[in-house]
Amino acid sequence: MTTHAGAVHEHEAPKGFIRKYIFSLDHKVIGKQYICLALFSAFVGMFLSALMRLRLAWPAMKLPFFPDGILPEQYLALMTMHGTIMVFMVLTTAPQSGFGNYFLPLQIGAADMAFPVLNMLSFWTTFLSLVVLMAAFFVTGGAPLGGWTVYTPLSAIGEIAGPGQGLGMTLWVIAIAIFSGASLMGAINFIATTLDLRTRGLSLMRMPLTAWSWFITAAISLLAFGVLLAAGILLLLDRTAGTSFFIPGNLVLTEKVISHKGGSPILWQHLFWFFGHPEVYIAILPGMGVASHVLSTFSRKPVFGYRAMVFALSAIAFLGFIVWGHHMFVSGMSPYVAIAFSVLTMSIGVPSAIKTFNWLGTLWNGNIQFTTPMLFALGFVSLFVSGGLSGLFLAQPAVDQYLTDTYFVVAHFHLIMGVAAIFGMFTATYFWFPKVFGRMMNNTLGKLHFWLSFVGVYAIFMPMHFIGLAGHPRRYADTSGAPFLQALDPVHHFMTYAAFITIAAQFIFLFNLLWSIWKGEKAGINPWNATTLEWGVPSPPPHDNFAGHEPTVYRGPYEFSVPGVAEDFILQTTPPDKVVKS
């Protein structure tokens, strides 16, 4: 049920720079703010990864700010911040709160999100969390060391456990707690908006898959981030208030006995991964939604198996909550429970496979237009297959005993999150840029960005599977510890060269993005001949999206190449009697 009266709730257009661009209630401005935050974070995270790859290939190399080379503890801190910034500040912001904020109201015919003030608050809270996180670089003791997973008791005991366990770690925990709060605010908003503000004629099963993905992702967020927030508070208490949730007794560090006792280190892992596994689905589901949407648009063909796609998104979300133990097979957890988690994890491959078959089915018998967004959507499919399949090895504890904590895992999650999800964001950017700015991005630069990135990411991350098979553990600052590791140095060099080329390609994207905002070729209202509601309003849309009148939806979101119709697409909002027959 939608409350139609609420669908066109108005708030006046703001006046003044601060209200328009800083503390704005407009979902379109907030969406752009989130995307800016993610863009900044992505370049910081990428810079950190460049330093990491330099260290791995040439450990002794001297660099600015690292006159003695990057020390092992510095490498580990860079790695921790790289993971944290990329997972939280890039993958959990732009796909959902960036593009979702901008386009969910438009796609469902609403004037704004259900709670504009909460929306503004959620962005500025996220911004605060980023400031606190970045502050960790600059405090005494520097950035934290622990991976983005900060396992206890290393992360709970404090400075005595070594470098990177001081104030920087405390700031990390605070930043993530603040971020969790912001995510909960956003989740409430997305769910209320989707359930309540759909316009006349837009049933749930007529929503674009992008809207479905944002809705389901918000449901995951709502249930997962609360647990992370709780875990963060407990960790903070252990660090600052003398509690021992995660710290057992009789620990000895630097010959001193630690006075905590009674806690369980793997309790942190359970709490963290109860959040952490759904989190990776938060990162990928919007990308899947965009991929489905764009593949359909540029095949000029309806999504193959729309209902199955909705079912698959829902199944992935549900199953995503009951598989977290697959991160913990060798943690000391019960081996019986491991079996349960294993079978459930293998099951999650099934809805993922449904989606992959349906993407191929959408392309089949299509009329494929190779626009830049389409190239990235196609790249997404290839990368999702590659990244997803390695999960099948890791889901079996017998095999995972060898592969866990090696580069095989690093390959797996980078292909899925660090590339497929990123390609989803590129797809969204190239696709919706004309709507947001009223201009096209440069096509040649876009294609160049795609080719270099697509080849580049495979060149970086495919080899990681192989050094993982050779048994190379992860989170190693270098290969000096064992001859079998040193034998893998050539692979590290290759990956580092590939990384630098791929990183360079991202500057082509950045230049294209910024240049096109002011100098791009002007775009009309629907340059892609697409079907969903955002393509029926001006580029960029006016403040209240639909100029005060409630649109009516007459059909599903993917009516392409309908027989008997002159054009190969029909907007969702075109009345039936206005559709031109052939």
Partner 1 sequence: MGPKKGNTGSAATATILALLLVLLTVLTVYIFAAKTWWFPPAINEIGKEIDQQFMRTLVITGIVFVLAQLGLAWAVFRYRARGQRATYSHGNNVMEVVWTLATAIMFIGLGILSQRTWAAVRIKPAPPEAMRIEVIGQQFKWSFRLPGPDGKFGKYKFEAHPEQEFTRDPWVVDADDPDGKDDIILGPGSVIAVRVNEPVELLIRSKDVTHSFFVRELRLKQDAVPGMTVPLQFTATVPGEYQVVCAELCGLGHHLMNTFLKVLSREDYAAWLKDMTAE
Nearer to partner 1 by Cβ, of 32 and 412: the residue is: 412
Q: What is the DSSP string of 316-360?
A: HHHHTTS-GGGG-TTTT--HHHHHHHHHHHHHHHHHHHHHHHHHH
Smallest gap, in angstroms, from Cβ of residue 471 to partner 1? Answer: 4
Please tell me whether residue 366 binds partner 1 under the rule CB under 8 A: yes
Q: Does residue 540 have a cis bond before it (omega within 30 degrees)? A: yes
Please tell me whether residue 354 binds partner 1 under the rule CB under 8 A: yes
Site for partner 1 in 469-488 (CB under 8 A): 469-471, 473, 475-484, 488
Please tell me whether residue 240 binds partner 1 under the rule CB under 8 A: no
- Spatial contact of 573 and 550, defined as CB atoms under 8 Å apart: no
Please tell me whether residue 369 binds partner 1 under the rule CB under 8 A: yes
Nearer to partner 1 by Cβ, of 198 and 327: the residue is: 327
Please tell me whether residue 397 binds partner 1 under the rule CB under 8 A: yes
Please tell me whether residue 389 binds partner 1 under the rule CB under 8 A: yes
Nearer to partner 1 by Cβ, of 34 and 376: the residue is: 376
3-state secondary structure of 200: strand
Stretch of 210-218, 349-357, 499-507, 572-580 lying at the interface with partner 1 (CB under 8 A): 349-357
Q: Which of 243, 314, 347, 552 binds partner 1 (CB under 8 A)?
A: 347
Q: Which of 160, 210, 165 is nearest to 190 (CA)?
A: 210
Site for partner 1 in 1-60 (CB under 8 A): none
Please tell me whether residue 343 binds partner 1 under the rule CB under 8 A: yes
Smallest gap, in angstroms, from Cβ of residue 292 to partner 1? Answer: 12
- Spatial contact of 193 and 108, defined as CB atoms under 8 Å apart: yes
Cite the beta strand spans of 99-251 per DSSP E.
none
Sign of the alpha-carbon torsion through 397, 400, 404, 409 = negative
Please tell me whether residue 514 binds partner 1 under the rule CB under 8 A: no
Please tell me whether residue 243 binds partner 1 under the rule CB under 8 A: no
330 CB neighbour count, 10 Å cutoff: 14
What phi and psi values does residue 203 have, to the nearest 5 degrees? -70, 165
3-state secondary structure of 473: strand
Nearer to partner 1 by Cβ, of 167 and 469: the residue is: 469
Please tell me whether residue 489 binds partner 1 under the rule CB under 8 A: no
Stretch of 109-117, 233-241, 275-283, 388-396 lying at the interface with partner 1 (CB under 8 A): 388-396
Please tell me whether residue 316 binds partner 1 under the rule CB under 8 A: no
Residues contacting partner 1: total by CB under 8 A: 130
Nearer to partner 1 by Cβ, of 192 and 470: the residue is: 470
User: What is d(CA 322, CA 210) in angstroms, rounded to the nearest whole number?
Assistant: 24
Counting every residue, how long is the chain? Answer: 582
Can you say how many angstroms the Cα of residue 64 is from the centroid of all Cα atoms in its chain?
A: 31
Site for partner 1 in 152-171 (CB under 8 A): 152-154, 157, 161-164
- Spatial contact of 446 and 430, defined as CB atoms under 8 Å apart: yes
User: What is d(CA 395, CA 397) in angstroms, rounded to the nearest whole number?
Assistant: 6
Stretch of 43-51, 62-70, 282-290, 342-350 lying at the interface with partner 1 (CB under 8 A): 342-350
3-state secondary structure of 140: coil
What phi and psi values does residue 522 have, to the nearest 5 degrees? -65, 140
User: What is d(CA 393, CA 346) in angstroms, rounded to the nearest whole number?
Assistant: 9
Site for partner 1 in 136-155 (CB under 8 A): 145-147, 151-154
Smallest gap, in angstroms, from Cβ of residue 406 to partner 1? Answer: 7
User: What is d(CA 521, CA 406) in angstroms, rounded to the nearest whole number?
Assistant: 47
Please tell me whether residue 324 binds partner 1 under the rule CB under 8 A: no
DSSP state of 23: S
x/- site string to partner 1, residues 200 to 219, per CB under 8 A?
--------------------
Smallest gap, in angstroms, from Cβ of residue 171 to partner 1? Answer: 19
Q: Which of 68, 250, 575, 576 binds partner 1 (CB under 8 A)?
A: 250
Among left, alpha and beta (phi > 0; psi -120 to 50; other), residue 254 is left
Site for partner 1 in 425-444 (CB under 8 A): 440, 443
Nearer to partner 1 by Cβ, of 16 and 564: the residue is: 564
Please tell me whether residue 378 binds partner 1 under the rule CB under 8 A: yes
Give CA angle at 509 (445, 133), nearest 5°: 175
Q: Which of 233, 280, 455, 579 binds partner 1 (CB under 8 A)?
A: 455
Please tell me whether residue 263 binds partner 1 under the rule CB under 8 A: yes
Please tell me whether residue 491 binds partner 1 under the rule CB under 8 A: yes
User: What is d(CA 342, CA 271) in angstroms, rounded to the nearest whole number?
Assistant: 18
- Spatial contact of 408 and 380, defined as CB atoms under 8 Å apart: no
Please tell me whether residue 520 binds partner 1 under the rule CB under 8 A: no
Smallest gap, in angstroms, from Cβ of residue 16 to partner 1? Answer: 36
Please tell me whether residue 257 binds partner 1 under the rule CB under 8 A: yes
- CA distances to 103, 171, 380, 560 from 530, rounded to whole Å, are 14, 45, 20, 9
User: Residue written as tokens 């010959």?
Assistant: 255
Please tell me whether residue 332 binds partner 1 under the rule CB under 8 A: yes
